[in-house]
Each structure stands twice: as C-alpha cells, then as structure tokens.
Amino acid sequence: MPHHDLVIIGSGSGNSLLTPELEGLDVAIVEKGTFGGTCLNVGCIPTKMFVVPADRVEDARDARRLGLTFAAPTVDWPAIRDRIFGRIDPISAGGEAYRTGQDHVTLYRTRARFTGERRLALDTGEELTADRVVVASGSRPNGLDVDGLRHADPTTGVHTSDTVMRLDTLPARMAVIGGGFVACELAHVFASLGVEVTQVQRSATLLTHEEVEVAHRYTEVARDRYDLRLTTRVTAAERVDGVWRLTTEGPAGVGHVEAEAVLLAVGRRPNTDLLDPAAGGLEVDDDGLLVVDDELRTTAPGVWALGDICSSHQLKHVANHEARVVAHNLAVDTGRLAGEPRRLDGRPVPHAVFGHPQVASFGPTAAQLEEAGTAFVSKTQAFGDVAYGWALEDTTGLLTIHADPSGHVLAAHVIGPHASTVIQPLIQAASFGQKAIDVAREQYWIHPALAEVVENALLGLPLEA
C-alpha cells in the first residue's frame, strides 16, 4: 500500500500547492478528469475567450447608434473553438507532463474516496495512506429533475458548460435553462454567434442574487436580444427526430420550446458525494460542502480543503487565495516554515458576470443590509452621466455604492461596459478600510475616463459631516 507525505485530491488550484517550501515531499496528486481543473478547461478561461468574439459582434451591432454600420458577421465556429482550445489543451497537457516528470510527485489518473483516517481507495483498486491530505476536488454541474434531462448527454444534444463549448457545429436553436452567471454568459455567446436562443428562468429576473436594479437592467437587455421566458420552469422533455421539445409552465400557462441543443445551467454541486467523507472523519454541511475552519482544516486531523469543495463562492480567485493559505499552513505544519498558520481574513469577495453588458459586485445588496439592520448610505451613478459614458452613448450602465455613514465602503454593484475593471478601486477601498472621501479626493482621476463613474459615486455619498 503506497504511503505519501501528502496527497492532493484535484489538479486545479490544488496543483498550485507545491510551493518551494514543500520541495522534496513525497506527493501524490489524484485526478480523474482533465488535468488543470474546472477554470482552465471548462470554466473561467474558455468561457471568457468565447465572450470576446461575442462582444465584438454586439459592439458592431450597437455601432449604428454611433453612425456606423457593418455587414452581418461571418461566424467560423470551428476556427473560434479550435483557436481557444488550441491554446488551453496544451497548457493542460503541459501541466500534467511537468508533474509526472517530477521524481517526488506521483500522479494517479483515477478517482479517490476515503476509507479511513487519511486512507484512500482508488478506482483502480489501489489504496493510499498519507501523513497529510488536501481535498481540492471541486464541483460539477447539476442536472435537472425532468425526464430526459436528469443526466446531460452530449450525444443527444443535452449539454452543460463542461461540453457545450466543444460542439462540432453550432445548432440552429438552443434552449438555455437557468438564469445565473453561467447561463447568462453562454446565452450571450451563442446568441451573438447566430444561434436562436431561448432562455428559461424560473425566477422573475435573471441574476437574482445581484442588486435589484442591476438584475432588472440585465434582464431587460437580454429580453431585447433573444427569447426570454421568466417565471417559467421546464416540466417535461422529449427528443424527436433530433429536436428537443420542452414543455414549460409559466405565467401564460403551458408552453413549449423546441431546440436542437439544450444547455443545463442550473447550478453546480460540490463533489463531496464522490469522496465518502464520513469514512475519513470529514463533516459536511447542509449544502454538501466540507466543513473547514479559518485555517481551512477539515474536521479530520491532517486534512485540509480548498475551493468549491468547501466554499460557497465557487470562484477561481477564491480557490487561488485559499491555496496560498493552505500551502503556507502545510509548510508550517511540516516544520519547513517558521511562524503561525494563516487564516482566512474576511476580505470582500468580488465576482463578475461576463455577459453583455458586464456585471460585477461585492458585498451585500441594499435588501440584505436592510434585513441585517445595518446602517448605510448609498449613491447610484449612471455611466451615461460622465464624459466617457457620453462617448459610449451608454443608457444602461450604473454603479451603486453602499457605505456606512462614516464613509467606509461596504459594497458595490455595477452593470455596464468593463464593469469587472471599473469595480476594482472599490474592492481595494473596502479591503484596506479606506474612506470613500479619501479615495475620491486624495488621487487624480483621469479625465475623461470611465473611472470617473467611481469618483462621482464616491463624492455623491451622503456621508456624516
């Protein structure tokens, strides 16, 4: 039975744990799927690479408001797809080759489950033991509890984000089920590239976790671009002659959607159920996440966790930060580094939706602040009221800032061009406890740049004297 100093389950952010401080440890990496994890292969990176050409199409269509017109785009789907994965696949293969070429690393291309304290059974029939284990095995897309759609099967045209980006050809029609960031980004991509998209969302708006006005504005833009069915759920599905016929229930009663392809984008679930965590002494919470403390230790001695398996955020930048915490704590625990363990520090966690327009946010919404009884003040600044917003002829973009009455930034919510970049100064302000008035007045803001949206919003907060 092989014994290792450290076993890492998962090759996404878990692969970055092997810092110089851990050099020389006998390490095993257990990975069943594509090396490199979700973000690299089926998540953040390829989706944004598809978003870029989709944005170009929408920019060209929107240019008529600026007095420009362009011919309809010619979309070469295989060229787009192959350009993207022609860059990504070699990175995955190279990362795997690098690890297998290291004398102190053993890569097991299989799945692991706990059978005891730091004891793992592999699907190959082998068993491993270890002094320390890190669980970084991520999450996977949910199915939909409807006959025909419970399990995605690309051969029948039912996809998740894991498979839809590698389609052989673009379908004439696609039904996108869901209203979160994955659904909205991919609906934007395929609608822009010429697919007739119908998006089915059970709630009254898309992006329901965003600030109300942000969600409302995004929903209205989407409604103008493709067929959007709100407050609607899929109740049945059948495939006849290569076409899916979805039966829906909504405000108008029973309806139908027909499409050659279906994209299930109804959330993700942590892979804890594949690990048999109880056998290893690892507790799981009501959401299926491994329970960890602020050092990212699980309830089992010598076992840490990071990423989607223990975090509700399901964000790569969160997993990367957690990997740095765990790497440091492993080095301290093994005596290779002096000092104290690091802890999660409660810094604001931002996120972005790369749809059209972009959305970005961190911190609570106004409704959440009110529910918590938190005193706050707010300012909403329209993109169209600053000079560069005029140049863009923007009618949708806005930034809302919530701050405590003394001027410390609590939250920011943005919709509009480059929202994921516009929000960054506010993330910094909240992370370092900077006051809004200092951020606004103690630096120059380039005129006429879009960042003046942030400056004007900060200056407009009704703060205590």
Kindly list the catalytic residues. Answer: 447
Phi and psi, residue 420, nearest 5°: -65, -20
DSSP code, position 251:
T
The answer to whether residues 451 and 445 touch, using CB atoms and an 8 Å cutoff, is yes
Q: How many CA atoms lie within 13 A of 257 on its CB side?
A: 29
CA neighbor of 315 nearest in space, from 182, 211, 208: 182
Is residue 12 within 8 A of residue 138, CB to CB? The reply is yes
> For residue 353, how many C-alpha atoms fall within 13 Å in the half-sphere facing its CB?
30
Number of helices and strands (H, E) in the chain? 12, 22
Question: What 3-state class would DSSP assign to 61?
Answer: helix
* Alpha carbon distance 447, 460 (integer Å): 18
Using CB atoms within 10 A of its CB, is residue 372 exposed (0-12), middle (13-18) or buried (19+)?
exposed
- In the numeric block, the tokens 């006849």 are attached to 240
Question: Pairing between strand 105-108 and 377-382?
Answer: unpaired
Distance from the Cα of residue 69 to its chain's centroid = 34
Q: Give the alpha-carbon dihedral of 358, 362, 366, 368, to 10 degrees.
A: 130
3-state secondary structure 198-246: EEECCCCCCCCCCCHHHHHHHHHHHHHHCEEECCCEEEEEEEECCEEEE
* Longest CA pairwise span in the chain (Å): 71
Neighbours of 456 (CB within 10 A): 17
* Residues 163-187: b if buried by 16+ CB within 10 A, e if exposed: bbbebeebbebbbbbbbbbbbbbbb
Residue 184, helix vs strand vs coil: helix
- The CA angle 182-350-325, to the nearest 5 degrees, is 105
Mapped to the 3 state alphabet, what secondary structure does 395-452 carry?
CCCEEEEEECCCCEEEEEEEECCCHHHHCHHHHHHHHCCCEHHHHHHCCCCCCCCCCH
